[in-house]
Structure 1
Amino acid sequence: MAVAWRPALPLITILALIVYEERVSIPSCKIVLGAADLSQPATEFVEDPEDLKVMMVANLLLLGSEAGFVELYFRDYYMTKFFRKSFEILNPDMLLVLGDISAKGSELTRAKWVSVLHQFHGLLGPFLGLPYHVILGDRDIGQCSSLNVKSVNWVASNFPGLDWAGCGAFEISNISFVSLNSVSLLCGINNLRFGVERVVERESVELQMEAEDATEPVNEYSEIREINHNFGWKANTISSGSGPVLLLHFPLHRTADGSCSAVDSFGKSLKLSRESSNAPDGRGLVGIGPYKLLHTLPPNVTEYIFQALKPRIVFSAHTHGFCDHLHPDGTREVTVPAMTWNSGDDPGFVVATFHRNRKAVSVSYCSLARESHVIVAYISFTVVFVLTMLIAKPPLLRCLRR
């Protein structure tokens, strides 16, 4: 009876590997409660078909035509499976990519950038049928000394909803989103920063008009005669949290004792992410980036954004790790981790559910398989497969013994 099963052993091993690949590509997601959520009644977070579910990823660090064999036939293969499985299981309504699509975008020619875009679209797969929005990171467009309006404009033109300065504003399911080119906000006076400021000023005027229920139209140019490029801003009377969902690549400034909140059942994952965010620059194959991973927007820029936009919630990236931070004014900021093995061994992403009452926002952290675990599994399957081949074919074993 045992002899009859021997020829089937290699096939069983291959089937086991296929099943493993499908299971290992399933994300593990847990809801992370912010400080403000603890005071909300449970009914605020009950799922409803009209809720807006948004999947947020960051720091894909794609290499395009410069990708090697391992990158193309192993990491890309699994990242594509991660996107597909996440789409099938979570059924999101929208995808947001918070910058650093390319590992070396600021150094690439347009021809090489095209190869990165092809790689990006290949990863997205089923998400290409959904609304999606991309913002630009420091690896995509470079640091202050190398910022170029024409280059930024060309990169931005390849993604939906971005203007010439790399900013965007859109509304979906009655939820307003504003994305800013936060890289340019780090720099001194430059045309890109002027463009970002204009978006902030425009959105602030619209926010005040909506709050005041104005009966007469307001001309934004007569309302704002002169932009203060030192980020001075007249106090906004709108309450905190009344504005749009803010999307950034760089996190906002936080105090030295600012920390990431965590829950006991999720402490391990958050601890790992905080450790990764404190790691030195240049992990894996991606090289040293233009800015350090701990870099945040300056205090004056942060205050300017808070005063002008009164964001409902902020989503940022850059650090490669997950963080859930509550600012002094009560604004919640969630930093999205890197979704790539190029930045570390613990990739992940965030799912935000905007409930139809327009108040509650549920945030889930989703972790993905570690590259080290997958490699160990492949080695184990290879060893088992070789052994089963030898068992299934005794003549081959006898030949090897000779």
Structure 2
Amino acid sequence: MLNFLIKILCLTLLVFIYCEYLIYYCVLLGCSWPQLSKLEQDFTVQPPKDANRKPLHVMLVTDTHLFCSRKGHWLNRFRREWQIYRSFQSAQFLFEPHLVFFLGDMSTDGESCSDREWNATVDRFQSLFSLAADTRLYVLPGNHDIGFHHEVTDGHLKRFQQSFQTPHVRLLTINDDQIHFVLINSVAFEGDQCRLCERADNELNEVVNELNRTGAWTKPVLLSHFPLYRKSAMNCSQPPLRSFKSLSEDPPLRERLDVLSQDATEHLLHVIKPRLAFSGHTHTYCYTEHHTTSGKVVPEWTIPSFSWQNRDDPSFMFLSITTNNQRVSHCYLPRETTIFWSYAIGAFLLIFYTLLGGRRPFCLLTCCFFRKNFKI
């Protein structure tokens, strides 16, 4: 009897380890870094002679929505944060990205929580997204971190900037390869001449001047929490792997709330001249293309949420990039329904095994099943 109970305990433990640990590796092994094609490189851009020929590997994540205050049940918060931690750490172990960009909405209610709650949330975020020594993480502000434009206070803005060292506009250059990333605080581009917008415009001009001073414009990557302007999800292509509801069901997107305004979008595309853009905020996947006044096409990927609080199938994106070439891939995490059914099937097999009273009847029944169905 004791041996039988030990076997049941071991089998239960195996089910738990699979559902809470191994399943993340099993699903993520279906992902890979996108491979660059020489036929797709931009021949108008000459890479520096001393540039590293290997692509830079970038991981892009957004919208974890960690709870700042005590809203929500503690078990739900613990569950969501464990899923985020396990997913990110598994991905980091398997793929070893060089850079990680987090595109905003780290918190659910950061615009309303106290300084003490905010600091505790930042500590939890840094623990969940702890990195290897040679990997760097950069964080953008989202509307749930500092508030929408009309809600932003100097105090909330200052504590976010102190927590993550983020100006309104930031130029990040990988020096060896001259790969540029422009990170913007999207709530600061309302265009209403407020102090916030004025500082953002000044910092944007400084970034553009710095890019011009390099002597070789290498088309930066634009990163923002709000997507660039589009009328609705009708402007999006469908996800590459999984289907979702009909796009015709989606209502029009609101400027300055769901997406950047059309004026701000045109201004950013005109002065930065990005080769591609990434954003978050909507919690859903979108690939769209923007046409500039000069006739150039700028592709944009909107990345779904990284949290099961917002989606049954969270995901993130990979970017392989060099000075004159890039390719993007979409990587999914385990569905929460898959984990649920894994537990359910494991529980059913354990009950079945228990009712049969041991290993021998269970094996005999299993052998009969396979002989009958597969003619062994």
User: Superposition pairs for residues 258-277 of structure 1, below 5 Å?
Assistant: 259-261=235-237, 267-269=240-242, 271-272=243-244
Q: Given the superposition, is the C-alpha separation of residues 115 and 277 from structure 1 closer, same or farther in structure 2, using an over 3 Å criterion?
A: farther
- Per-residue Cα deviation, 1:74-95 (whole angstroms, up to 9, x for no partner): 2211211101110011110111
1:332 deviates by 1.4
Aligned match of 2:273 in 293, 307, 310?
310
Amino acid at match of 2:326: V
Q: In 1, distance between residues paired with 2:331 and 2:247?
A: 17
Please give the secondary structure, in 1, of the residue aligned with 2:193: coil
Distance 1:108 1:256, change over 3 A: closer
For the residues of structure 1 that align with 2:273 and 2:307, how far apart are their CA atoms? 32
Going from structure 1 to structure 2, the CA distance change for 1:304 and 1:131 (only over 3 Å counts) comes to same
Question: Aligned-pair distance for 1:364?
Answer: 1.0
For structure 2, the 5+ residue unaligned runs are 42-51, 359-376
The answer on whether the counterparts of 2:63 and 2:103 sit within 8 Å (CA) in structure 1 is yes
CA distance in structure 1 between the aligned counterparts of 2:155 and 2:3, rounded to whole angstroms: 69
Secondary structure of residue in 2 paired with 1:246: strand
Distance change (3 Å), C-alpha of 1:293 and 1:168: closer
For residue 31 of structure 2, give the secondary structure of its aligned residue in structure 1.
Answer: strand
Q: Distance in 2 between matches of 1:180 and 1:354?
A: 20
Instruction: Count residues in correspondence.
Output: 340
Alignment-derived partner of residue 374 in structure 2:
none
**Identical-pair percentage:** 24
Q: Secondary structure at 2:125's aligned position in 1?
A: helix
**2:223 counterpart of 1:247:** yes
Match of 2:86 in 1: 81
SS at match of 1:157: helix
CA offset digits 1:90-139 (Å, max 9, x no partner): 11011110000001111111111112112211211335762110000111
Distance 1:326 1:32 in 2: 20
2:212 to 208, 213, 236: 208
* Aligned match of 1:149: 154
- Take 2:18 and 2:230, find their aligned partners in 1: how far apart are those partners? 44
Q: Kindly tell me: are residues 104 and 158 of structure 1, through their superposed partners in 2, closer, same or farther at Cα, counting changes over 3 Å?
A: same
CA contact (8 A) 2:234 2:247 kept: no
Q: 2:248 and 2:125 mapped to 1: Cα distance? A: 24
- Whether 1:373 and 2:372 are equivalent positions in the alignment is no
Note if contact 2:319-2:328 (Cα within 8 Å) is conserved in structure 1. yes
Deviates more, 1:271-280 or 1:50-59: 271-280
Deviation at 1:352, TM superposition (A): 0.7
Residue type of the partner of 2:302?
T
The structure 2 residue matched to 1:196, chosen from 190, 193, 200, is 200
8 A contact 2:56–2:98 mirrored in 1: yes
Indicate conservation of the 8 Å contact 1:101/1:140, yes or no: yes
C-alpha offsets along residues 48-86 of structure 1, whole Å, 9 cap, x if unaligned? Answer: 983211111000100045253333432211211101110
Q: Which amino acid aligns with 2:342?
A: A
Q: Is the alpha carbon distance of 1:347 and 1:382 closer, same or farther for their aligned partners in structure 2, counting shifts above 3 Å?
A: same
**Which shows bigger deviation, 319-328 or 12-21?**
12-21
Offset, 1:296: 1.1
Aligned to 1:184: 188
- Residues 1:158 and 2:121 aligned together: no
Tell me the equivalent position of 1:22: 21
Equivalent residue letter for 2:305: A
8 A Cα contact 2:69 2:109, kept in partner: no
Partners of 2:180 and 2:249 lie apart in 1 by 29
**Equivalent pair of 1:102/1:139 in contact (CA under 8 Å):** yes
Matches of 2:169 and 2:246, distance apart in 1: 28
Contact 2:33 2:319 in 1 (8 A): no
**Mapping of residues 343-358 of structure 1, within 5 Å:** 343-355=310-322, 358=323
**Code of the aligned partner of 2:337:** S
2:116 counterpart of 1:111: yes
Please give the secondary structure, in 2, of the residue aligned with 1:334.
strand
Instruction: Read off the aligned partner of 2:13 and give its amino acid letter.
Output: I
Give the one of 305, 326, 335 matched to 1:361: 326
Corresponding residue SS for 1:365:
strand
Q: Give the secondary structure class of the aligned counterpart of 2:173.
A: strand
In structure 1, what is the Cα distance between the partners aligned to 2:152 and 2:132?
Answer: 30
2:57 alignment partner, SS class: strand
Q: CA deviation at 1:29?
A: 2.8
Distance 1:152 1:52 in 2: 31
Residues 320, 294 of structure 1: alpha-carbon distance in 2 compared, 3 angstrom cutoff:
farther
C-alpha separation in 2, matches of 1:273 and 1:250: 22
Mapped contact 1:149–1:192 kept (Cα < 8 A): no
Deviation at 1:279, TM superposition (A): 8.4
Distance 2:252 2:236 in 1: 19
Stretches of structure 1 lacking an aligned partner (at least 5 in a row): 42-47, 214-237, 282-290, 394-402
Matched, 1:12 2:11: yes
Residue 40 (str. 1) matches residue 40 (str. 2): yes
- Could you tell me which residue of structure 2 aligns to residue 132 of structure 1? 137
- Are 1:298 and 2:261 counterparts? yes
Q: What secondary structure is seen at the aligned counterpart in 1 of 2:307?
A: coil
Partners of 1:130 and 1:201 in 2: how far apart?
29
> TM-score, with normalisation over the residues of structure 2?
0.79
